[in-house]
Amino acid sequence: MAESLGNRLPDELVQALGDEALVAPDQPAFLLITTDPDGAPRICMLSVGELFVRDERTLRVALWRGTRTARNLGRGGTVLLGAVSPGSVIYVRATPRHLTLPEPTGPDCFELTVTGVESDVHVGMPVTSGIMFRPDEPDRATTLTAWRRQREILARAAAPADPAGEPAALRDPAAPGEPAAPGDGR
């Protein structure tokens, strides 16, 4: 049964998405779930190189330009990010907003404002592994360079202004009037 952890990213997830995680030979995959216009769920598998933690309430994501997931994020609405690792299952609910990039070309980038975090641990039946992948050699160095570049873009992108005039990461979703909550297949 899932247990609420509040609306801040847990330390274990912040560490799993840190710069140090890029050098591990085996990389965790993170699952981003959005909703297509017809209401169907769309799942997108992301790497550490496509995610960036701005602060404990804000994630940024870089996607291939023009994908269905990018279009879904552009429409707004609540999204869900799943992080599964041995002994831990974390679900992050967030609201997306398109980012303004320092360069006009490149990935579609979004800021996800965390609205809720849950831990899904089952006593007596621990999760023993997450979804992992390993970039092939000799392309590994090229992949790491591309991931670092994407994370630099995410770090430099201009945060969208909230209609109230404050950055999205500073909004309190519990405040009155605030809502709670490579391929074409992404």
Any idea where the domains of the chain sit in the sequence? 2-163
Task: Please calculate the CA angle 130-31-50 and round it to the nearest 5 degrees.
Answer: 105
Range 2-163 has CATH code 1.10.240.10: no
Query: What's the start-to-end Cα distance of the chain, in Å?
Result: 28
Is this structure's pTM higher than 0.75? Answer: yes
Q: Is the peptide bond before 102 cis (omega within 30 degrees of 0)?
A: no
pLDDT, one tens digit per residue, over 82-116 is 999 988 999 999 999 999 887 777 889 999 999 99
d(CA 145, CA 3): 37
Low-confidence ranges of the chain (pLDDT < 70): 160-186
